[in-house]
Amino acid sequence: MEKMNKEIFVQTLKEKLNIEESQINIINNILESNNIIGKNNKEKIINDLMEQLNIDNEKANEIYETSMNVLASSIKDKLKHPFKSVD
């Protein structure tokens, strides 16, 4: 993720999930260290979320799905407006 896109991603997740910034940073680190595509990767990400945030499977799934929706929305916006600046 580009620096500005990362900041927007982190802020959007923080707003949607209503959790602390320290937890958002852990989530972001987990997502950046894993390939986000594929069923096995989804399970690994969810397991990492449960382990590192000390949460249950349901909350980890919610975080995963919300994160993927934010990323998908960002990608769609970039495809619709490829030259739009994020400044």
Q: Averaged in consecutive runs of 10 residues, what is the pLDDT profile of the chain (87 residues)?
A: 68 90 92 80 94 97 93 66 57
The structural domains of the chain, with segments of one domain joined by +, span: 36-71
Integer CA distances (angstroms), 9 to 4, 39, 54, 56, 71, in order: 9, 22, 22, 23, 7
Nearest to 10 by CA among 27, 53, 82, 33: 27
- 59, amino acid identity: K
pLDDT value, residue 71: 83
pLDDT value, residue 83: 63
- 11, amino acid identity: Q
pLDDT value, residue 51: 97
pLDDT value, residue 50: 97
Is residue 6 within 8 Å of residue 52, measured between CB atoms? no
